[in-house]
Amino acid sequence: MWTRYKILIFSYLMAEICAETHSFSKREVDPGPYFTRNHTIFEGCSRDSQHYEEGSVVKENCNSCTCSGQQWKCSQHVCLVHPELIDHINKGDYGWTAQNYSQFWGMTLEEGFRFRLGTLPPSPMLLSMNEMTASFPARADLPEIFIASYKWPGWTHGPLDQKNCAASWAFSTASVAADRIAIQSKGRYTANLSPQNLISCCPKNRHGCNSGSIDRAWWFLRKRGLVSHACYPLFKDQNTTNNICAMASRSDGRGKRHATKLCPNSYEKSNRIYQCSPPYRVSSNETEIMREIIQNGPVQAIMQVHEDFFYYKTGIYRHVISTNEESEKYRKLRTHAVKLTGWGTLRGAQGKKEKFWIAANSWGKSWGENGYFRILRGVNESDIEKLIIAAWGQLTSSDDP
């Protein structure tokens, strides 16, 4: 009796806690009628032909449902995974297919946007930077397909997984810098660079896993530099309490480029610091972006992420607007930073030949095409061509053999 009573109280407490909506019963805790009813009529709720006692709580995607008064009372959050939209995309001819990713299941839409992206809208300063033009001969033909890792095998770096750390500002910057240092040093320095070093130590981006700006990330790469990803690996759990800088990555000023501290792990010994030139802006012209990539290496692109982008599995991405009448509340948009690594053409939606970029995301290799995605090229899809950033690896004369 007592345990059932406690369960009842618990269910009312839960109802109060979760009652962001008004769908929960607001009745007083009054065990009297409950016990009387208990002996006479059926209690509890059913779901998938299973019986649940009064007070049971089950999770349905991002919502909690409590069995209360023989009915399920559910919270009404908008979930990140929206099965109707996934269905809509897969039944349509949009040129890409969608997947229900288990890592996103159970998150609210708001949480998805808050934790999985993490680049602040570009500052006016960044947007007003002068554009640079690659010196790649204008007359030389650009190939129909280009993949950076084929031209520079072993010198470019695959996608990492930011998990619930909203720091695409750090992941994309470290990855573009690492590729370019490897390419410009002609394979002398091929280490991947540490996004965790940026997240935990960039003093001007104190938000860390709560978004940051890419101009500050590049400022840090120029002024302080980063150690390798092997030296300063990602934390297993990202949270605000463990976000203390473990690495004062400042060189000793005598041309020796090493951090003043040892790597915060026992495997990697090299605490060498890698630095970059100030960043520069590449033109939004599709041809210019291609010339920049083929000549100097992958570039950073700032894009607008819409809700459907989370479901991308394969194909050429274009934003699909849900036709669902409820779709209004699913529409969301936020800034994200990724790395463009190549391009190509393919027969896509409606059998038409379509041009695409190849881009690396930072949601792990189980997302998209092995961590990469393809997106329409030449039409500024999701603003992908709006702001393209690159930098030079800073190699001193003592670096050159």
Ligand X SMILES: *[C@@H]1O[C@H](CO)[C@@H](O)[C@H](O)[C@H]1NC(C)=O
Residues that are catalytic = 336, 361
Residue in 148, 162, 202 with CA at minimum distance from that of residue 390:
148
Q: Which of residues 298-357 bind ligand X (CB under 6 A)?
A: none
By the rule CB under 6 A, 265 interacts with ligand X: no
By the rule CB under 6 A, 366 interacts with ligand X: no
Closest distance to ligand X from the beta carbon of 275 (Å): 29
Q: Which H helix or E strand runs over 200? A: helix 195-201
By the rule CB under 6 A, 295 interacts with ligand X: no
Residue in 275, 165, 285, 291 with CA at minimum distance from that of residue 228:
275
Residue in 385, 387, 381 with CA at minimum distance from that of residue 318:
381
By the rule CB under 6 A, 83 interacts with ligand X: yes
Residue in 96, 181, 119 with CA at minimum distance from that of residue 354:
96
* Residue whose CB is less far from ligand X, 67 or 290: 290
Count of positions (residues) in the chain:
401
Helices (H), 25-70: 31-40
Measured CA distances, 278 to 9, 345, 346 (Å): 61, 33, 36
Measured between alpha carbons, how far is 130 from 282 in angstroms, rounded to an integer?
A: 8
Could you say which of 36, 76, 287, 370 contacts ligand X (CB under 6 A)?
A: 287
* Residue whose CB is less far from ligand X, 12 or 101: 101
Measured between alpha carbons, how far is 291 from 134 in angstroms, rounded to an integer?
A: 6
Stretch that binds ligand X, among 4-12, 27-35, 114-122, 380-388 (CB under 6 A): 380-388
By the rule CB under 6 A, 242 interacts with ligand X: yes
* Residue whose CB is less far from ligand X, 105 or 146: 105
Closest distance to ligand X from the beta carbon of 162 (Å): 15
Measured between alpha carbons, how far is 311 from 96 in angstroms, rounded to an integer?
A: 10
Per-residue mark of binding to ligand X, 209-238 (x: CB under 6 A): --------------------------xxx-
Residue 79: both structure tokens together? 């979930």
Closest distance to ligand X from the beta carbon of 286 (Å): 7
Report CA 64 to chain centroid distance, whole Å: 26
Cβ 248 vs Cβ 259: under 8 Å = yes
Cβ 99 vs Cβ 313: under 8 Å = yes
At position 151, the amino acid (one-letter code) is K
Measured CA distances, 348 to 95, 97, 352, 377 (Å): 5, 11, 6, 12
By the rule CB under 6 A, 53 interacts with ligand X: no
Closest distance to ligand X from the beta carbon of 40 (Å): 36
Measured between alpha carbons, how far is 290 from 292 in angstroms, rounded to an integer?
A: 5
Stretch that binds ligand X, among 157-165, 246-254, 308-316, 379-387 (CB under 6 A): 379-387
Could you say which of 190, 285, 324, 327 contacts ligand X (CB under 6 A)?
A: 285
* Residue whose CB is less far from ligand X, 9 or 333: 333
* Residue whose CB is less far from ligand X, 15 or 390: 390
Could you say which of 64, 185, 251, 284 contacts ligand X (CB under 6 A)?
A: 284
Closest distance to ligand X from the beta carbon of 83 (Å): 4
By the rule CB under 6 A, 386 interacts with ligand X: yes
By the rule CB under 6 A, 370 interacts with ligand X: no
Stretch that binds ligand X, among 113-121, 175-183, 239-247, 336-344 (CB under 6 A): 239-247
Closest distance to ligand X from the beta carbon of 377 (Å): 12
Could you say which of 239, 260, 265, 345 contacts ligand X (CB under 6 A)?
A: 239
Find the distance separating the first CA and the last CA of the chain, reported in whole Å. Answer: 81
Cβ 201 vs Cβ 174: under 8 Å = no
Positions touching ligand X (CB under 6 A) are 83, 100, 102, 105, 138, 235-237, 239, 241-242, 284-285, 287-288, 380, 383, 385-386
